[in-house]
Chain A
């Protein structure tokens, strides 16, 4: 017995049956499946958010669970629940809201509007708790410091950055230095009194509230009007966006530029930092959105763009929820593009399933198998081999489709007809190639009956201009029309097919002509380029 087994394992087929296989198609050279692309494309788009009235100026997530989302659009700030993505509360303003921000405990919400007023709300009440009036021009940003619950930082078109005492609604210090509109700012994620502001005078200034002189402690020139600035999680680096570039700076290293990304085609409007997953090893990425409608993910550690996604509108703002389950992008037309991640099955669930298996086993023990049960006949089939078992692999049979079987019996025409009925163009072409190799294609065509000829013609009409098959099919179409001219002529059922075929041919000719034209334009350019 053992001998026989060994013999079986040794044996090799001299000659195998090969089913007809379609040509394999080329795979893209770039690896489509990187960890980044897998992560960033796993946000499932949510389409049932109603369109908002006007451009989404700002987005903010609450730092505490359940991470509700504040959306600033027009004169309203809407509070969305992050689970259902439905509006739970609205706060209205006198003018267009420009910026919104949660306090570190998520209980208060600050927002600035174009009338220059900064208002503070309790998230559970409608009315404003405080109105901070001091800006003489539209206020553009407002931000709570990292853990500090008592102060606010705001900036506006008057070029002044203000450090507020919220309880007293008074300005502690006016920070002067910007020569143009202050458009953005961010507070350090490690220090309560450090913050940066970006302005249209191309500079980003670093401020320290502990310093009395009301002068900035560092300055960075971005090289263009700064649209947004964010601290990276370490607190020592910042990222700035202005014009179509995003730059990463090292503050501790004296304001040195670390890297820059210039893959957007239009002004970058907003930045945010996202964490890829929740575990310790997860890396941070810089997410930027731009007026060109692209969201780009930038791996600033490797200075490489890792993911890019297109949206059907100019994008104004972006935010990622702190638990990285939600990605929200606001468009200039009021669209809110929200993407939600699927919840992973928890560890708890695994534990319960483990227990449930046990209970199943117990149940099956209770019901002894009898030959009258269906399960009786399936017993032991799913048994896994143990370690010392000797595995004998079953000889894998070749799977033959219907046309393969017909080809094996040399019934060529029937094979062609059966594969034509299957409506898989790649298979049809593969069978045709096999017939050509057997020198039987012409015979098949001449033997076809009317219905079958119609099938063939409609297939040819549909696919003869598809680039992948055109070499074979165009020649074949010509041949078929030549050979069966008298059968096709004047038949009602072929009229439609022939008309379509003619249209296809005309279309193809037009495409070819335009391609030739383009080539004519390009060729001299190439020639010149080659000379240089």
Chain B
């Protein structure tokens, strides 16, 4: 089983002492990347909750540069000490409360102190133990821990806040501080360190009129820079001369008390305060250069600004394309890194600020306008190579290798200059990959302004074999007049594609021209059925039949000759997804507005075989076998019922694996963030017949597993997915009132049995599954049904 797609940007990364490695917090683990290649070397595994803080023990001498020690703190309440060259866990300290942030000042102020027994850490924790319902106790605590002991006492609390805050420490290790709305609280580590028993260490506060987003300490002087939500950068010089004075400076302090301090508010303890304004939106990144000459700022606009501290002159690195989150400089003066909100870590060559390399994580899904939510199909899979094409921000399609957990390339679908935070006016609504992964098709919609200038375009991209960079082959403007494209599907064997539109027609596109340069896609046929909106399309496994959903009916076509073969009855609601179950004659249709339904149709008998009342997010089918899997959202009513609360802890979706005509799922896994998720079968790595199932959830985390092996099931249970047999509402629920009752009983039975898959010989389970046509006469059924109930009762007695 492969997991991946974790966020690289949840907390700040850190360079190793030789600047050859970059440590990145990736969920529960810390990944170590090589700076030279941008590839993952190793990972530190051990935490059971997301890692929030990562501190590399700095080197004081050149000889120490090879040392690879680091401290991590996590929401699981532990602080761990690692040797990441190994990697090896050296020490675990249990703090019992989730740690949101941690600083260790003595590592910076006294780097020669290698003895960890005297280390003191300041942590920001969330202590919910004292918080009762309705009380005014504050959850966030800033505490002092002595890292010498294995198990920690409660520690001294310095400050309480509503939320746990992140602590910022000065590069010299003298001060640390937190943000609190419009204020910055700063503590002095020397004085507070000197008097361990005195819990109240020296503290000072700086005030501002706007909410402050980020701040940073100057490495050598007493300067604090802060950025607020309006984009201003404030610089306080000479802070804390009065309140945080060190013993040697006490004499000077008295002399400056009465001076007029320009720009400083409320008699704050600072000599002067200046404001710089360039950013148009909030400032998220603030960092001084290691020599203290420059200040780096960045924010929503995705522009890194370098200010010369003396003069205020600016230099820019524009068009990074995504809001900035962190800026880190490395021990190597020519290298630094910028972390972006789109899960990318850019390594910069320093004085010139060129982007050397990008460590590319899976990009988050785009934020779509409301009308496209749920309609867009923004993830496509290449089954043979395990590559997923994911729509992301900036009109990009990212090609991500799910098996290696690496970004391969990016395709800019729409050539526009992107400003993060702009109103979204161009939306990539669908992406599809051909079965061999050589052709990609995308559609985008330009939204109209006041009814003018709307445009739908369909694009076909081709790639070189074994090189996943796609180049544009054909653009079709307004493929279905001004109607939007609802779905794109590729023919399994020929270079043929079909696009369906809400305007009531579908078009079959074929590629003419054999070589890559001259080939282009042209319309081969147009079809429509009673002018109904076409909402979904699928080719059969051998490509001889094209199924197009015309709202509530399914039309079957011969794609080559464009002849209507037959029409499959009507569902209750418009169909949104279609899929042939492998090479079998079964066709899976899903619809969800206003009433969700999953229905399976037999195309040889032209009849409905069975259906569930489930909201389906994605359907996939195996190429060779008749197995298919659906990603269903667990109905609210089902989730609320008390007996199942423990099963669906935080899980809102379920993957159901079916086999052909059998309405009983072969296996079920419950998953988190199922909404907006996608699933697909992938070919096995060694044996092509051994299938793997890939699931990408709504926030682009994914898992790839073997659906048929037992080993997966056990491991699934602990993490992202868990397996538990659940039952949907059978189609005959309405017919027989007692059925739901019986379902519940069966569930309980399953739970008590603990093994997820019950292969019992109880006959009633198969009676109710199957086509209406095959339904036995009512008299016979009644007898058997009551018989089964009686049998059930005896089972309960046992």
Residues of A within 8 A of B (CB): 7, 10-18, 21, 23-24, 27, 29, 408, 432-434, 436-439, 441-442, 471-472, 475-476, 479
Contact = CB atoms under 8 A, between A and B. Distances in A.
B12 interface: no
Contact of A10 (B357, B415, B451, B478): B357
Nearest to B481: A471
Given A7-B356, A14-B320, A21-B415, A436 B423 contact: no
Contact of B446 (A21, A436, A441, A475): A436
Contacts of A434: 416
B294 to A, nearest CB: 22
Contact of B355 (A14, A27, A436, A438): A14
A438 B453 contact: no
Contact of A15 (B320, B354, B520): B320
A13 B355 CA distance: 7
B418 interface: yes
B503 interface: no
Q: How large is the interface on B (under 10, 10 to 19, 20 to 34, 35 or more residues)?
A: 35 or more
A436 B319 contact: no
B394 to A, nearest CB: 7
19 contacts: A14-B321, A14-B346, A14-B355, A15-B319, A18-B412, A18-B417, A24-B475, A433-B446, A433-B453, A436-B446, A436-B449, A436-B452, A437-B416, A441-B449, A471-B455, A471-B478, A471-B482, A479-B450, A479-B452
Given A7-B349, A437-B426, A438-B425, 14 more contacts: A14-B319, A14-B321, A15-B320, A15-B321, A18-B412, A23-B475, A29-B512, A408-B417, A436-B448, A436-B453, A471-B455, A475-B452, A476-B452, A476-B453
Contacts of B455: 433, 471
A181 to B, nearest CB: 50
A514 to B, nearest CB: 21
B28 interface: no
B358 interface: yes
Contacts of B346: 14
Contacts of A475: 451-453
B456 to A, nearest CB: 11
A11 B449 contact: no
B425 A11 contact: no
A15 B393 CA distance: 12
Interface string B221-255: 00000000000000000000000000000000000
B43 interface: no
Nearest to A433: B453
A14 B340 CA distance: 11
A439 B453 contact: no
A438 B426 CA distance: 10
B477 interface: yes
Interface string B384-400: 00000000001000000
Contacts of A437: 416, 425-426, 446, 453
B161 interface: no
Interface string B307-319: 0000000000001
A11 B416 contact: no
Contacts of B475: 23-24
Contacts of A16: 319, 412
A231 to B, nearest CB: 39
Contacts of B520: 27, 29
List the 9 shortest-distance A-B pairs measured between CB atoms, nearest first. A436-B453, A475-B452, A15-B321, A18-B415, A15-B319, A437-B425, A436-B449, A472-B453, A476-B452
Contacts of B416: 18, 434, 437
Nearest to B409: A12
B59 to A, nearest CB: 24
Nearest to B302: A15
Nearest to B425: A437
Contacts of B446: 433, 436-437
Most chain A CB within 10 A, of B320, B425, B450, B520, is at B450
B712 interface: no
Given A14-B346, A433-B446, A441 B321 contact: no
A471 B344 CA distance: 39
Interface in B520-538: 520, 522
Given A434-B416, A439-B423, A471-B482, A17 B319 contact: yes
Interface in B351-365: 354-358
A409 to B, nearest CB: 12
B321 to A, nearest CB: 4
Contacts of A18: 412, 415-417
Nearest to A432: B453
Contacts of B452: 436, 441, 472, 475-476, 479
A10 B446 CA distance: 34
A100 B415 CA distance: 66
B356 A442 contact: no
A433 B414 CA distance: 13
A13 B317 CA distance: 12
A18 B478 CA distance: 22
B186 to A, nearest CB: 36
A17 B425 contact: no
Most chain A CB within 10 A, of B320, B356, B425, B453, is at B453
Contacts of B425: 436-439
A439 B319 contact: no
A420 to B, nearest CB: 16
Interface in B299-331: 319-321
Contacts of A24: 475
A17 B412 CA distance: 12
A437 B425 CA distance: 5
Contacts of A442: 449-450
A10 B349 CA distance: 13
B450 to A, nearest CB: 6
Interface string B376-387: 000000000000
B355 A11 contact: yes
Contacts of A471: 455, 478, 482
B342 to A, nearest CB: 10
A467 B455 CA distance: 15
Nearest to B416: A18
Nearest to B476: A26
B463 to A, nearest CB: 17
Contact of B356 (A11, A23, A439, A476): A11
Contact of B394 (A12, A15, A436, A476): A15
A78 B32 CA distance: 92
A471 B455 CA distance: 9
A14 B453 contact: no
Nearest to A17: B417
Contacts of B349: 7
Contacts of A11: 354-357
A15 B478 CA distance: 27
B198 to A, nearest CB: 50
A438 B423 CA distance: 8
A514 B304 CA distance: 60
Contacts of A13: 355
A40 to B, nearest CB: 22
Interface string B424-464: 01100000000000000000001011111101000000000
Contacts of A7: 349, 356
A433 to B, nearest CB: 6
A432 B453 CA distance: 8
Contacts of B449: 436, 439, 441-442
B358 A29 contact: no
B334 to A, nearest CB: 11
B479 to A, nearest CB: 12
Contacts of A472: 452-453
A27 B425 CA distance: 29
B136 to A, nearest CB: 45
Contacts of A23: 475, 477
Nearest to B419: A438
A472 B482 CA distance: 12
A392 to B, nearest CB: 16
